Each structure stands twice: as C-alpha cells, then as structure tokens.
Amino acid sequence: MFNVSNEQNIIYIGSKPVMSYVLAVITSFSSPTTQTVTLKARGRSITTAVDVAEITRRRFMKQLSIDGIVIGTEDLAQEGGGTRAVSTIEIGLKKAE
C-alpha cells in the first residue's frame, strides 16, 4: 500500500505510478478534518511529487492550493563507506475553506 502517516497527513512519494499517489492525496482529503497534506520525495521521485501536486490541483481538486515548498539535501550512507548527497522536496497542499 502507500506509506501514509495519518498523524500529519504525509505521503511519501516513491516509484509507483503518478495516479496512485493522486488517489492517495484525494483519499487523504476525504476526511472532513483534513486541511493539509504534505508530499515528501527525494532524488528521482521529486518529479513525480511535482506531477502529483499539479495533477491533483488542476484536474481533481481545484480548491487546493500550494501551502509551501521546502527543498533540501540529505546525506545518505553508501555501502562502501562515505556519504552521498540526495535532493529532497516537501510540497504542502492546502484545501481552501
């Protein structure tokens, strides 16, 4: 299934098809108490996260807006020792009231 954290409404983007994550966002917003959902991705999944946000906003939930975007870098350990820098993104989606 999806890696969705119910406490903070966070959806971690991976290698599944874009529409799978769009459905996860729509499902998260189906709760009347949910006002924001955060998409988190790193590396090559960043483009998928942007696609999910835009498809959800433009095709399915026109009342959504971008609440904020946070970009950064994480250092991941490699097998042979040392670290590797990987880009990260967090996209906040907010339901208009």
Comparing 26 with 3, the larger pLDDT belongs to 26
> Which one-letter DSSP state was computed for residue 1?
-
We report the CATH number of the domain holding residue 25 as: 3.30.110.20
How many whole angstroms from its chain centre is CA 70? 11
Q: Alpha-carbon distance 1 to 80, whole Å?
A: 31
> Total structural domains in the chain?
1
pLDDT tens sequence across 24-61: 999 999 988 889 999 999 999 999 999 999 999 999 99
pLDDT tens sequence across 5-31: 445 799 999 999 999 999 999 999 998
Task: Tell me which H or E stretch contains 36.
Answer: strand 36-42
Domain extent, residue 38, equals: 4-95
Q: Alpha-carbon distance 84 to 48, whole Å?
A: 21
